[in-house]
Each structure stands twice: as structure tokens, then as C-alpha cells.
Structure 1
């Protein structure tokens, strides 16, 4: 596909996303190409994508989120890129806004999207997510993913940024076990990030940071107003922080053990 400054490539990374990916792909069919990088799914995700007439799917081993997204970015044929998570959906109003924004030849080279979080099939209004926003639309030639983070990757932008009006729908919570698994995975990846940065484990972080996360999201950021949904999300987010520091402790112990084993 030739490069065109008005064309857009939709990019998604996946691993076992059946139940999410179908809505996501359907919502980006307006894009000029859809590229999905799959890290060897075992639940039928790859087969679904392989059979989809508008999708080019590439299997690539997963190391961390930053590396996987950087690999996907390299596959895009167009300068404008719409980068989504597999559990995000672009509404029709947002589709129109994206197209109109690109066709207007904006001076901004990247755009923030606010997100509407869905708990199963109903919106989550508070619980710390009400001000959440992420870069999702940007020019490939003017942005890259920072190699300093391996989870909740950071986009480094060369130029000015804008914000789109319509929100991206984020189906963050399919079931308790599914969301718990995500939070534990993110916690372990953050621990690796801390370890590589030489951020040391201490017991106070293990005790107080998960407690603060819960209090901040449930009380200060009004998760209490989300009822049962709020307490569930706030608890699982705090659990992710707890796993982060438990894992960091394990990594440091393994490192110390390896050091003593190689000592003469």
C-alpha cells in the first residue's frame, strides 16, 4: 500500500483476545489497513484474524509491551497510525472525528483520546479512570515508543499534540478472573521495570503503596460512587501494586542468589 498523508493504518497487538478483538476490528474497518501483531494466541484469536478479509495478522513473540508495539509500528504502511488495545472500540462518532482530523491537515502530530471504561457492559464513571487519556492517533514519522518503560508504554512525540472530543470505549472488565490476571501480569512487568532501573524493594512499599492505591481510587477518586463495580476495580488495581512489590522482592532474591553462586 503506497504512503499517503491522508491514509491511516490501524494497529493492534493481541494475545488471547477472543471476546474483545471482534468488536475492536469491526470498529476500525474504516482504516486503510488493519495490522494485528499476535503473540501466538491459543484461544482462536489468530485463526479469527487470519480469516478476516481486512486484516493482516503477523505472529511475533512477546517480550514486553513497548517492544511489541514498536514492532507493530514498523509494519505500518502509512504515516498516520491509529494504535488501539484489543479491548478498545472506536465509536462511529469517533471514527468520523478521526477521518475529519486527518483530512484537515492538522499541525498537531499526535492526539490524546479520553476513554470511557466499561465494566462488563455498563460504564464505570469514577474509580480513578474519569480523567484517563492516552495517545492513540499519531504520525509514525513524528513519534516513537520510549524504551524506558516495558508496561504502560510511553509515546515520545516530536511536535504538538491535540485532544479529540469523542471518547474511546475501553472494555476493561470482562470477568473477575480475566481482570485479575491482567493486573497480576502488569504488576510483574512493572517489577521487572523497577528491577532494571535499580529501584530497590522495601517492605513499606509492599504495605503502603497497595493500600494507598485502593484508598486513592476508592475514596479520593470516588470509586465508592461506582458501587460494587468500584470496589471490585479498586481492589484489583491495588492487587496489581501488591504483586509488583512481591515480584520485585523475588527478583532481588534471585539476583542475590545468582551472585553468591558465581562468587569464587
Structure 2
């Protein structure tokens, strides 16, 4: 199902003269994108002119994202694949600095965060990677409860000690000592609820594909019970109700996401057979 091609965008594109000056900070920042035109500029602005290398791996976006990216970097590559781990790893492999940092197209770095990272990259540390905390903004409110909180993962690491593992929810694995950054970065994943539903549709499809390829079979119990449990856990046990209506929408949409990934797994089994796997 994955259509895999890899090519570099023509560096002589029309808006190349608008790119920001290069920095001498020995850090590569990379991100992967696909139709993130609504948010990508905020992410690019927060790192442009700060790190010495900015790499973006896209999948032939059609929403204006490519034109925006070209204003900030000439290191834009096109890679068509449905494998998120593969896409992240390809961006990682393109980095040329010893330290790398990845961000998503709906995130941005604070000045405090950038000062702390610059100090680590230019100094001495026994750590091979650093966990970073993320603050989430949704429908005009910072989310401090439920399944979105706390939110942290490794983001800064030595390139030669890291590699990507997993499927749709791929994670960077780092060999060596892991530290924790004191500062945070920001995340605004959805412009509105319609954007959220579109994203859920795409991610549930990809997650169901991962389940199918790994011979994880559909069970009616999972489709019925897991969404209810997720809502109860996030809204009641993790006190998502304290985030008001945005918190309720998050928990309800998460429940819908869990339901749909099992529904799509059932659909794949009906279409392709239960034990054959999806052919690449």
C-alpha cells in the first residue's frame, strides 16, 4: 500500500531568496510534513536562523505547504510512504550535524527552549539524548489534564546514538544516558474540530494498517470496550473534565479514534482476508 519515492525538491524554486540567514549552531532540526500548510510556517519561523541546518521531508503536499517551506530552507525532500517510522528515519539520515532535534509541523520552540538547547549543543554533557516537555493548546485553551497531559518524549539527541522504531506512533530510540530539559516547547495540533476529525481519519487508517500487517486480528470486544475505557480513563481518572468543553471534545474524539481504528481493521480483514497481510 505504500508508494515509496524519494527525491529532493529543486533548490532553485521561486521563493528561495526569502530564506533566513544560516546560523553556526552545530544542530540539525528536521521535520516531516504532509498538507500542513495551516501550521507549518509557525514551526519554521521558530527554528529558522537558529540551527545551522533545517531539513523537511514532505510527501508532495497540495495545500501550499511546499511553497511555505521553500521560503525557509532549500533542504526540502519528497518521500512518499505510509510508514511513519520510515519517513522520520529518512529525515534523520539526511542530517549532517552531530546533534539533531525534531519537531512536528504543528509545534514551535520557545526562546527559553532554544537557549537551553544551544547551551547543551555547544557545551559538554554525558547525555546522548534529552526528554522535552510539550504544552498543548487546543481550541484556545492550554490542556493540563486528561490523555494529553503530561506530554513528553525524547526530542534532542546525538545523531549517531538514535534511530526510529515503531509504526504510526513511531518513537526515537536513543542508546545512552537520557537527560531532561527544564524548558518546554509548544503544540497546537488542530485548527478546529473539522481538522481534528480529518486527522483522526488519516491516523486511524494508518494504525489499522499497522495492526493488520502485524497479524493483530479484529475482535468485537476491542471495538466496543476499548473506546469506553479510554473515555473513562481520560475524562474521569485523568480529570479531563477540568479542561472544560475542550477537554470533553478531546476525550470524545479520542474515543472515536479508538473505535475507528478497530472498525478499519475489521474492514481490512473483510477486504484482504484475515491472515494475508496488506501487500506493499
**Same fold by TM (over 0.5)?**
yes
Give 1:255 shift: 2.6
1:178 paired residue number: 195
Confirm or deny that 1:238 pairs with 2:258: no
Where does structure 2 lack aligned partners over 5 or more consecutive residues? 1-23
1:262 paired residue number: none
Q: Per-residue CA shift, 1:200-236, capped at 9, x if unaligned?
A: 1100000010111111111111110011000111111
Confirm or deny that 1:81 pairs with 2:100: yes
2:89 paired residue number: 70
Q: What is the 5 A alignment of 1:114-263? A: 114-146=133-165, 149-256=166-273
State the TM-score, normalizing by the size of structure 1: 0.91
Give 1:66 shift: 0.6
Are the counterparts in 2 of residues 36 and 55 from structure 1 also a CA contact under 8 Å? no
Are the counterparts in 1 of residues 134 and 186 from structure 2 also a CA contact under 8 Å? yes
Where does structure 1 lack aligned partners over 5 or more consecutive residues? 260-264
Are the counterparts in 1 of residues 228 and 255 from structure 2 also a CA contact under 8 Å? yes
Structure 1 CA distance for aligned equivalents of residues 189 and 159 of structure 2: 26
Structure 2 CA distance for aligned equivalents of residues 88 and 113 of structure 1: 13
Are the counterparts in 2 of residues 14 and 39 from structure 1 also a CA contact under 8 Å? yes
Give 1:173 shift: 2.3
Confirm or deny that 1:48 pairs with 2:68: yes
Structure 2 CA distance for aligned equivalents of residues 135 and 175 of structure 1: 27
Are the counterparts in 1 of residues 131 and 152 from structure 2 also a CA contact under 8 Å? yes
Q: Per-residue CA shift, 1:143-173, capped at 9, x if unaligned?
A: 1001xx2211022211111111111111112
Are the counterparts in 1 of residues 144 and 150 from structure 2 also a CA contact under 8 Å? no
Q: How many residues align?
A: 252
Structure 1 CA distance for aligned equivalents of residues 161 and 74 of structure 2: 25
* C-alpha RMSD of matched pairs (Å): 1.7
State the TM-score, normalizing by the size of structure 2: 0.86
Are the counterparts in 1 of residues 234 and 240 from structure 2 also a CA contact under 8 Å? yes
